[in-house]
Amino acid sequence: MSNKALWEQVCTTDPRAVKPITGKQYQGNSPKPYWLIERATEVFGPVGIGWGCDVKSERFERLGEFDVLHVAVVSVWYVRDGVRSQTFDQMGGTKAAYKTAKGMLMVDEDAGKKSVTDGMVKCLSMIGFAGDIFSGRWDDSKYVAQAGALLEDQRRREEESPEDRAARAEQRAHWLADQKAAIDAAANAGELKRVLAAALKTAQEENDPEAESELHAAAAVKASKARTKETA
């Protein structure tokens, strides 16, 4: 199994579960936490059985006369293929008390819950959840337009029967072998470029980054052979 198998399974975020970051000095997007909980449950099983979030420590830090920050250190554990694993500890933080620009003193009674949720989201991101957002792919409008379809395709594959999965894997293997053969048979650099581009387009449409890597590797080998032949 690929080292990135889990990552590739969970990195795509449903466009309906993305919200703009507000109240910060920077802009961007973030996944809705409850959607991440639902997605983790789909992948690992119910909370408390297939996965969970452990709070390692909590504290309040005074940042000034009026500002108080709540900090929580958490980690996420999960069971995959019968093996229990745990993420690195991550820190979440929320202002528990602060003074507004108009001079009003505000207290957030939900600061503790928000800090734990913040830390949980960071832990899940370490194993690939919402990886497309945290890696910056969500800044590409073309990717955003495709994300919903990619997620539906992933879910469809997760629900496949073992027989259908095996048949699809065999079909993929034959297709990949044919593409590598075509790359190796390319008569010149122009043909190599055209064959590779067409194969990569199909791999991208199938959301198959492993195939993309293998195609690039095959093209590199072909190009190296061509250079060696020219200098011989």
* pLDDT at residue 80, as a whole number: 94
Q: Which parts of the chain have pLDDT scores under 50?
A: none
Angle at CA of residue 134, ends 132 and 139, nearest 5°: 65
Task: Report helix angle 209-231 to 189-205, nearest 10.
Answer: 170
* pLDDT at residue 19, as a whole number: 86
**Of 1, 3, 35, nearest in space to 16 by CA:** 35
Tokens 């409008």 belong to 141
Q: How far is CA 37 from the centre of its chain?
A: 14
Contacts of residue 215, defined as CB under 8 A and 6 or more positions apart, other chains included, come to 176, 179, 180, 183, 196, 199, 200, 203
* pLDDT at residue 24, as a whole number: 67
Whole-Å CA distances, 22 to 19, 30, 148, 228:
9, 10, 23, 56
* pLDDT at residue 23, as a whole number: 66
Give the whole-angstrom CA distance, residue 193 versus residue 139. 28
Q: Are the C-beta atoms of residues 157 and 171 closer than 8 Å to each other?
A: no
Give the whole-angstrom CA distance, residue 110 versus residue 164. 47
Both tokens of 76, joined, read 């996420």
Torsions phi, psi for 106 (to 5 deg)? -115, 140
Q: Does residue 73 sit in helix, strand or coil?
A: strand
Give the whole-angstrom CA distance, residue 14 versus residue 19. 11
Give the whole-angstrom CA distance, residue 119 versus residue 122. 5
